[in-house]
Amino acid sequence: MPMDMTLYPPDWRERSRAAIARAGSRCEECGAPNRARIARRRGQDAWREAGPSDLAGGCEDGEYVTRVQLTVHHVQPARAGGSHEPANLRALCQLHHLRADMAIHVANAAATRARKDRERRAGAGQVVLL
């Protein structure tokens, strides 16, 4: 999700790098190595190293190729007061970071839809009660 940098300490970059190093530069959920090109099936945890034929677009059906970019997840979200200490941080690949934050993404999407709906109704001259 977009990072609200006001929630992060000035040394966040160093803390983030340390968390990734502590994890051996692998996703702590699926073990995918940082910056590796991998192939995986949509919605599945399993992955394999992508080979030359995968990179040429020859993936098996249902697979996609991606480059792993580890990011650091707060187990207790920073915006909910979660600390930036190692015990609260996990290095995760894109898939697993998205999954870890899914409830927050769903809540944010619902709030955005509600706000846009209020703005649309207000713009149309309708009385907005909520």
93 is a site residue for Zn ion (CB under 5 A): yes
- For 75, residues 6+ apart whose C-beta sits below 8 A from its C-beta are 82, 88, 89, 90
50 is a site residue for Zn ion (CB under 5 A): no
39 is a site residue for Zn ion (CB under 5 A): no
* Residue 124: DSSP 8-state: T
Select from 1-9, 16-24, 86-94, 101-109 the region that touches Zn ion (CB under 5 A). 86-94
7, 30, 36, 65: residue in contact with Zn ion (rule CB under 5 A)? 30
> Which pair of structure tokens corresponds to residue 5?
């940098």
Q: Distance between CA atoms of 61 and 41, rounded to whole angstroms?
A: 8
Among 101, 97, 96, 92, smallest CA distance to 20 is for 92
68 is a site residue for Zn ion (CB under 5 A): no
Select from 3-11, 55-63, 88-96, 105-113 the region that touches Zn ion (CB under 5 A). 88-96
Select from 69-77, 81-89, 94-102, 105-113 the region that touches Zn ion (CB under 5 A). 94-102
Residues in the chain: 130
7 is a site residue for Zn ion (CB under 5 A): no
DSSP codes joined into one string, 88-103: GEEEE-HHHHHHHTHH
98 is a site residue for Zn ion (CB under 5 A): no
Name the site residues for Zn ion (rule: CB under 5 A). Answer: 27, 29-30, 93, 96
